[in-house]
Amino acid sequence: GLELKARFPRQSSTDGKSKSKPRRTVGKLRQLATEQAEKRRRAEEKQAKKEKARREKEKAAARKKHLDSLEGKEGRIWEKVDNLVEIRNAKSYDQAIGHLKDLRDLSIRKDKLEDFLSLLESLREPHMKKQSFIERLIVVDGSGEALVLTTRQLITKATAFDEKYRN
């Protein structure tokens, strides 16, 4: 106690006024807190955008590598798709659709989309009574990406694909 009282007069000026910075008001403190929060939010947003771009770049590279590994194996993949569809269950249909997406992307990459569509039609014809499979052909995933598309949609998709995966 006495030591604190003895120190106090030494830290203040001779006229009794403090030499420290002027005190900040509650309003000023709130303003500073708001500014800091906004600054932090912008930095986090910027970091999130960078992270998203990095993930998309990695995903595109992985997709390209996967498609590279399938080059020249298209015939075996078509056979596998046909075998999967014959199993007649949801899991095999989903696997078949995954392979069809790969085949579609390979055909776009090679500028052979017409060949893909012809083969897809020859696959679809004998399986028309398999409603679940046919529905999966039309809507491939939750994003609504269709495997069976109009010519205009295919051209748009091929252009977008070129930008991402073409050598």
Q: How many residues does the chain have?
A: 167
Q: How far apart are CA 117 and CA 94, in angstroms?
A: 19
- Those residues whose C-beta lies under 8 Å from the C-beta of residue 146, and which sit 6 or more positions away, are 138, 139, 140, 153
- DSSP annotation of 75: H
Task: Give every residue of the chain whose pLDDT is below 70, as ranges.
Answer: 1-2, 4-20, 139-167
Q: What is the pLDDT of residues 127-143, one digit of tens each?
A: 888 888 888 877 554 44
- Count of other CB atoms within 10 angstroms of residue 85: 21
Q: What is the pLDDT of residues 42-61, one digit of tens each?
A: 999 999 999 999 999 999 99
* pLDDT at residue 138, as a whole number: 74
